[in-house]
Amino acid sequence: MGSELPHYGVGKFAVYKGKTYRAYGNPSAADIAIRVAEGEPAPTGLAPDPKEPERLYRVSPEQLDSWYSSSWTFRWKDWLFSSYGVHDGKISGLCLGLRRGGTGSIDAAPFQRVGATEYEGTFSIDEVADLTEERSDLLEEWKARHRD
């Protein structure tokens, strides 16, 4: 995944020695797992996770530069979306509704119905606005739980 471009999706992430990885675990755990993308080298100084030794590595949160949970929203025209992420220059998300004062019918919009009242959309990243991240600091929460 790397730390060079935001992915604009939902998940937990850890930065270890300046590199961003997808992370698994919670602030009450003694350690967490980070996932290495296919073709990337193993992080130095970490033991493989026995559950998936080729891709997961165990790390103590105190070894991390940062650890956080992230989600993104964006606007396409007057519509607000919760982002699923970017793939091949296109961003996808779940429609959260029409912006106050906006106009339009959801049935006339280029969305895909995925439930009784749920719609998804996929757009060129250049067509969206107001990309906004909501981030929770899991490392600070871990430190608060593990103070002596």
pLDDT at 117: 83
pLDDT at 127: 93
Most distant CA pair in the chain: distance in Å? 58
CA pair distance 95, 121, nearest whole angstrom: 7
CA pair distance 31, 10, nearest whole angstrom: 21
| Mean pLDDT in residue range 67-75 | 94
The pLDDT tens digits of the residues spanning 75-129 come to: 998 899 999 999 888 999 999 987 666 666 676 678 888 888 889 999 999 999 9
Task: Single out the residue of 53, 97, 54 nearest to residue 73, CA to CA.
Answer: 97
Q: How is residue 136 written in tokens?
A: 């929770």
Q: How is residue 12 written in tokens?
A: 């937990």
- Of 3-7, 9-13, 83-87, 91-95, which gets the smallest average pLDDT? 3-7
| Mean pLDDT in residue range 8-35 | 92
Q: Where are the domains of the chain?
A: 11-69, 72-136
Q: Which helix (H) or strand (E) holds 48?
A: strand 47-48
Q: How is residue 74 written in tokens?
A: 């964006």
* Torsion angle of C-alpha atoms 104, 106, 108, 111, degrees rounded to 10: 130
Could you tell me the pLDDT band of residue 2, with boundaries at 50, 70 and 90? Answer: very low
CB-CB contact of 98 with 108 (8 Å): no
Which 8-state DSSP code applies to residue 17?
T
pLDDT at 3: 39
Q: Over pLDDT 90: what percentage of the chain? A: 57
CA pair distance 42, 57, nearest whole angstrom: 8
pLDDT at 113: 86
Helix (H, G, I), strand (E, B) or coil at 105: coil
